[in-house]
Amino acid sequence: MDCLDICPDQLVVHASELLSQTTKDVDAAETYKRILFETMAKHYSQYREPLLCSRYHDIHAGIIKLMESGETGQALEAAQLCIRLLEPTWREELHRLLPFMAVAGSPGAYKLQKQNTNRTVVKRTFAKAIVQNKSLSKVQTEGLAMFLMDNHTEVFKIPTSLLQMVRKKLLSLQEGRNPNAIAGFTFCKRVTQKEFEEQKLQTTFEQLQQLMQDVSQDRNMCGKERNRLLQDFRKHHPSVFSHCFPNCWLEAEHQ
């Protein structure tokens, strides 16, 4: 019942009236659950800002990427950090909503709809209240919401790596060392010098190739200007040019 504190007074009063009218028989508990769910669903069906702030959409996308690659441990840690960034009131509301969703969505709970599982109903009802991100698909958005629900006992904890980092910095202060010399969170993958050079060449090649194709296919550019640009490409980037236009290159070699 604590989750009703999230709802506005008007909805709470209405729910209380319905609950008071319920007869105390064997079906009373099921009726209570139905009224509670319908009240929460009505509240979150109204347009409102998602609990996961939209300005952190890049973080949401990063969590999804970790989930899709099977790195659930890192995804959980990223989610913990993301929740740390929320306003306290929004974090508290999410702290109430996720456990409610987990209970309502469990297979053994009150059957919300005959044609769908409880988990499906909960997902469809509350996903948009948690996250709205135009760069994510509906499946990804719902997946993130369900990930938070499934891990609601863990996502509000302080990440272990953050605690370890703070301990290291405190220890460095006690020992008279510079705490800023200790690296914080790193979201980049370290590569060797050889790998870096290979990635740099590959990325440059792909971007030049795309640019050359854009020029050759631009119908708004006059033929003279397009030919001039392509000749410049052939002169300064012959390997890219030959890859894009092998026949043209061969003809040029035999002229």
> What pLDDT digit, counting tens, does each position of 24-69 carry?
655 677 777 888 888 888 888 876 788 898 888 888 999 999 999 9
Instruction: Give the helix/strand (H/E) hosting 16.
Output: helix 9-20
pLDDT of res. 124: 93
Q: How far is the C-alpha of 125 from the C-alpha of 101, rounded, in Å?
A: 10
The Cα–Cα gap between 220 and 217 comes to 9
Tell me which amino acid residue 228 is: R
Q: Name which residue leads in pLDDT, 142 or 225.
A: 142
Tens digits of per-residue pLDDT, 216-227?
887 788 888 888
Q: Is-contact 182 168, C-beta < 8 A?
A: yes
253: pLDDT confidence band, cut at 50, 70 and 90?
Answer: very low
User: How far apart, in whole angstroms, are the C-alpha atoms of residue 119 and residue 130?
Assistant: 15
Residue among 84, 122, 85, 87 at smallest CA distance from 102: 122
Per-residue model confidence (pLDDT) at position 145: 94
Band of the pLDDT at 233, cuts 50, 70, 90? confident
Instruction: Output the pLDDT for position 147.
Output: 96
**3-state secondary structure at position 205:** helix
Q: What's the mean pLDDT in 83-98?
A: 91
pLDDT higher for 100 or 161? 100
pTM of the model: 0.62
